[in-house]
Chains A and B, each alone.
Chain A
Amino acid sequence: DIQMTQSPSSLSASVGDRVTITCRASQGISNYLAWFQQKPGKAPKSLIYAASNLQGGVPSKFSGSGSGTDFTLTISSLQPEDIATYYCQQYKSYPLTFGGGTKVEIK
């Protein structure tokens, strides 16, 4: 199985801050990586696929980068509506696996 490790597990930042979340795969997954945003009581929502491609309708303040084993999700200017838990997911091979999540809060 491919293990996905996210860091940090939580972070607190001010409105307007640039926020970066990292995700590391236990083996190379090329760019078969997605990022999801999950708000309390809601299903995960896809933000980014293929490591760096923005899903339709997702604000451009979200961006993704990386390939192989190391990936990042960046929020360029944190806003109150971005408060959520963010998960990475690899889809290079079965079993599909998720990172442990990063809870983003406003300072």
Chain B
Amino acid sequence: QLQLQESGPGLVKPSETLSLTCTVSGGSISSSSSYWGWVRQPPGKGLEWIGSIYYSGSTYYNPSLKSRVTISVDTSKNQFSLKLSSVTAADTAVYYCARRAGGRELGPWGQGTLVTVSS
């Protein structure tokens, strides 16, 4: 059964870079037609897609975040990562990683990790 798990610092200072990693288990990140992505949810608010990456490195980003986002993949570790630069308090959120297989909906999802931006 495919499982995803987010990891990374829970506290980031304003203006710094948020870095998270998603580890995939129970399947290969190099699976054809699977994209791997990030979604965030500010406390008490809705869901926002951040971006997705194919194992080859091809990416799609949300235009609203594109200038600050980098998603990368490490097939040797079966992991993909998110970097969000120049963070502010507005970037405080639960960050989820998720797979998108075969042009379908997102799923499965990781359990999520709360990242707080504060000095």
The smallest beta-carbon distance between B110 and chain A, in angstroms, is 7
A1 and B49 CA atoms in complex are apart in Å by: 12
**Contacting residues, chain A, for B103 (C-beta < 8 A):** 91
**Contacting residues, chain A, for B110 (C-beta < 8 A):** 43
Report the interface size for chain A: residues with CB under 8 A from the other chain: 22
Main secondary structure of the interface of A (DSSP, over half): loop
The answer on a CB contact under 8 Å between B107 and A46 is yes
In the complex, chain B residues 89-119 whose Cβ is within 8 Å of any chain A Cβ? 96, 100, 103-107, 109-112
Q: What 6 additional pairs, Cβ within 8 angstroms, besides A95-B62, A96-B106, A101-B46?
A: A36-B47, A44-B106, A94-B60, A96-B49, A97-B49, A101-B47
Give A contacts to B, CB under 8 Å. Answer: 1, 34, 36, 42-46, 49-50, 55, 87, 89, 91, 94-101
